[in-house]
Amino acid sequence: MSTSVIKTLQKIILRLIRAILIVLILVIGTTYGWKLSNPSPTNITNHEISQRLKESVHILSENIGIRNYAYFENLEKAASYIETSLKDIGYSVEEWSYDVDGQQFKNIVTRIKNNNTEEYILIGAHYDSCFNPGADDNASGIAGLLELARLLKKESLKTNIMFVAFTNEEPPFFQTDKMGSRIFVRTLQEKGIKIKATVVLEMIGFYSKKEFSQKYLPLLGSFYPNKGNFIALVGNFKSKDLVDFIHKDFKKNRYFPMEAIVAPYFVPGINFSDHASFWEVGIPAVMITDTAYLRNQNYHSAGDTIEKLSFEKMARVVMGLKESIVNLANK
């Protein structure tokens, strides 16, 4: 068989594989978008949770502001705020430091330890921002992380919980070996720490009731709402069982609408946060997100400010996640 024929066959096979994967995405989208669509949420909220979320976002995005490698002093202030907040709740805090081009960065770690198991459920969010206030991206995720740490500390859990505030998620480190979560995962493996599941909070504060405020990748819009008034749950095929469990459990508690998708790594946007670092080593992981640039037009801009966010809706999301994580830990 000639080389040209072999190359032609390879192209045909590759196109067939891509077509099959697209069909799979559509089938899964149909499953999550229609069969498991949420009933209307119950009229439940918690003013205290909403206020604490707002305070955290205000401190990170307004008082501190731009926080990244170029604004290193601000990045350190953000880390200090996170550590102090965790200590005030009653946690011991670990700094997992690493060097990038002669500069010391740190992932911030704390744990709820159960001596009967070695496995952890990891809850993470990145605390750096792009060159903007980063209220939604990702002060909202860190605020959610701190509140989950507060709420879960009161629970009786059969599985260990690890909370991690990652740094250097944003460019120029994004999806490089200097990305904070990639370095963290390598350290996990070196330490022999077992992660059962990972839940990453990536922008959880922006919502809209306007028609067509929610955008989608091609072919997916037919299966999901056109209003951006839900929280999204994103996983890859290896994480499908985790997606199924959280989605069904979250739906039962009815705090807030949730839509879910399982898709391969190459689908644009699917891997746009720290959860992908865990996918790369085969650890089941999901991203909890308001869908970022597919909804929030202020993504990576100076307009990503606190007044654009809904803290009442964020509180509902956090309360629903708390219930689902407790049930995941105790199943």
H/E element, 74: helix 72-89
| Tokens 């290896």, residue located | 238
Nearest to 57 by CA among 152, 129, 8, 150: 129
Superfamily of domain 45-330: Zn peptidases (3.40.630.10)
Give residue-wise pLDDT tens across range 260-306. 999 998 888 999 999 999 999 999 999 999 999 999 999 999 999 99
Q: Which residues contact 288 (CB under 8 A, 6 or more apart)?
A: 144, 199, 200, 201, 202, 204, 231, 232, 233, 317, 321
Q: Compare 305 and 35 and report the one with higher pLDDT.
A: 305
Query: pTM score > 0.95 for this model?
Result: no
Give residue-wise pLDDT tens across range 203-233. 999 999 999 999 998 878 888 999 999 999 9
- Quick check: 194 pLDDT over 80? yes
The residue type at 272? F
- Quick check: 107 pLDDT over 90? yes
Pick from 41-55, 119-133, 161-175: least confident: 41-55
Nearest to 53 by CA among 149, 146, 157: 146
Q: Strand order in 103-112's β-sheet?
A: 94-100, 103-112, 160-166, 119-126, 194-202, 285-289, 231-235, 258-262
Pick from 20-24, 60-64, 155-159, 268-272: least confident: 20-24
What residue segments make up the domains of the chain, in order of their start? 45-330
pLDDT band at 5 (very low <50, low <70, confident <90, very high): very low
Q: Buried (b) or exposed (e) across 201-227, using 16+ Cβ within 10 A? A: bbbbbbbbeeeebbebeeebeebbbeb
- DSSP-assigned letter for residue 231: E
Read off the pLDDT of each residue in 234-262 and give the average, rounded to a whole number.
Answer: 95
